[in-house]
Amino acid sequence: MSGGTPGSPPPDPLAARGRRALYRARRRLRRSAVDYFRGDASDWLPFVGLLILVPLITFTTLLVPVWCPPTALVLPVLTAALLLRPGSLVLLYAVAATALGVESAVLGPYNGLGPGRVTPGDVLIVGAVGAGGLLLAQLRSRVGVPWRGGGSMLFDLRERLKVQSQIPALPEGWHAEMALRPAGGQSFSGDFLVASRTGEDKRVLEAVLADVSGKGMDAGSRALLLSGAFGGLLGSLPPHDFLPAANGYLLRQEWDEGFASAVHLVLDLDTGEYELLSAGHLPGMQRSMGDGNWETKEAEGPLLGIYDGAKFDGLRGRLRHGDLLMLCTDGMVEVPGRDLAEGMDRLMGEADRLMGSTFAGTAWRLIESVAKDLNDDRALLLIWRE
């Protein structure tokens, strides 16, 4: 028995098929639009649009050459370099060259008799823009990232690094700040932090501050890969197994510059007791509230990615109420021609001065006052207890 309410006319099969066809067409249209802006679809739509634009510009040039010179053809040529694949780009360039030849035939070659003539300079400009656009399209095609998605992908990678460097919320009485500044004002850095609350009832804070070989954009891709791997290992392994696992991961990558330094902090948020495990990293620096003195906390261990079977010995300490623990990368203290200890002394002295005012924002202010002009990635982690 057919469906529907009693007494209603039977459904029309032709109308039902028409609605289904219309639904499928709308769905394909939406999917193609989404794929286009994601860079997954073919380039037929912009190709057709630019193919129509070229004769329109040519016709306008023939009518009003003073307002639309022959060099106006660089507009569709340049746009095509950003939108089209190399095969479609060559075809459009052939159409643009034909249009330039038509303009030269109708307007006449350059003879110094007034505007509207096709000069050798016009041909060189359009040709140079076309050659540069073809090179750009070939490079983009080799990378496999369309221009529409390339910028958004880099933005997404940068934001992921920022999110992964965030410190989880700490219980009352604990505070932490992390500041990161890439070398040369770039968006990507070889320094990164991963942190997580682990243990029973999440009462343990584990944080890893790492410094990948290289700096800026050169190290940014490796830092992104390592931060994801370190974030997956953190909390999944016992604290003493983290650095050996990270070392094995770097060795398996077989990078030309496949080493990194790292310091692993395991902090009990109930008692304030902590353990530092280091892989060739700078010592930690602890300031005691009682006497205001600083003490370096240097754990022993080789760089990550140097050799298999490396051992990492931890160093224990305790943060009492009012104490501060400071971890940083070498970009904060390393100055050519000076000893690292001198740079660390300067950093600790500047921290004393800044803590005399408000403590919030001290990490950023320390970078500004100590390492603002240093041409290296800089990262600083501060943890203190009220």
**Which of the four pLDDT bands, split at 50, 70 and 90, describes residue 315?**
very high
- Domain assignment present for residue 357? The answer is yes
User: Which residue in this structure is represented by tokens 């990558």?
Assistant: 253
Host domain of residue 129: 44-144
User: Is the confidence at residue 326, as pLDDT, over 90?
Assistant: yes
- Domain assignment present for residue 155? The answer is no
SS3 241: helix
Q: Are residues 63 and 207 in the same domain?
A: no
Q: Which of 56-60, 165-169, 292-296 has the lowest mean pLDDT?
A: 165-169
Q: Are residues 306 and 353 in the same domain?
A: yes
Q: Which pLDDT does position 21 carry in this prediction?
A: 63
| End residue of a domain, out of 110, 144, 178 | 144
Q: Are residues 98 and 217 in the same domain?
A: no
- Domain assignment present for residue 54? The answer is yes
- Tell me the whole-structure pTM to 2 decimals: 0.68
Q: Which pLDDT does position 231 carry in this prediction?
A: 86
Q: Are residues 168 and 131 in the same domain?
A: no
User: Is the confidence at residue 1, as pLDDT, over 60?
Assistant: no
Q: Are residues 134 and 203 in the same domain?
A: no
- Domain assignment present for residue 376? The answer is yes
- Domain assignment present for residue 319? The answer is yes
Q: Which pLDDT does position 142 carry in this prediction?
A: 66
> In the chain, pLDDT over 90 holds for what percent of residues?
22
- Domain assignment present for residue 13? The answer is no
Assign residue 133 a region (left: φ > 0; alpha: ψ between -120 and 50; beta: otherwise).
alpha
Check which CATH number belongs to the domain holding 179 and give it. 3.60.40.10
Q: Which pLDDT does position 35 carry in this prediction?
A: 43
Total number of residues shown for the chain:
386
Q: Are residues 316 and 190 in the same domain?
A: yes
Q: Which pLDDT does position 40 carry in this prediction?
A: 42
Q: Which pLDDT does position 240 carry in this prediction?
A: 92
Q: What is the mean pLDDT of residues 151-177?
A: 76
**Token pair listed for 217:** 């954009």
Q: Are residues 53 and 183 in the same domain?
A: no
Domain count, the chain: 2
Q: What is the mean pLDDT of residues 245-274?
A: 90
Q: Which pLDDT does position 102 carry in this prediction?
A: 85
User: Is the confidence at residue 353, as pLDDT, over 90?
Assistant: no
The rounded mean pLDDT for the chain is 79
Q: Are residues 135 and 105 in the same domain?
A: yes
Q: Are residues 87 and 174 in the same domain?
A: no
**Token pair listed for 355:** 């803590």
**Token pair listed for 127:** 């040709």
Q: Residue 383: in which H helix or E strand, if any?
A: strand 378-385
- Domain assignment present for residue 4? The answer is no
Q: What is the mean pLDDT of residues 42-62?
A: 86
DSSP 373: T
Angle at 54 between CA 50 and CA 59, to 5 degrees: 145
User: Is the confidence at residue 31, as pLDDT, over 60?
Assistant: no
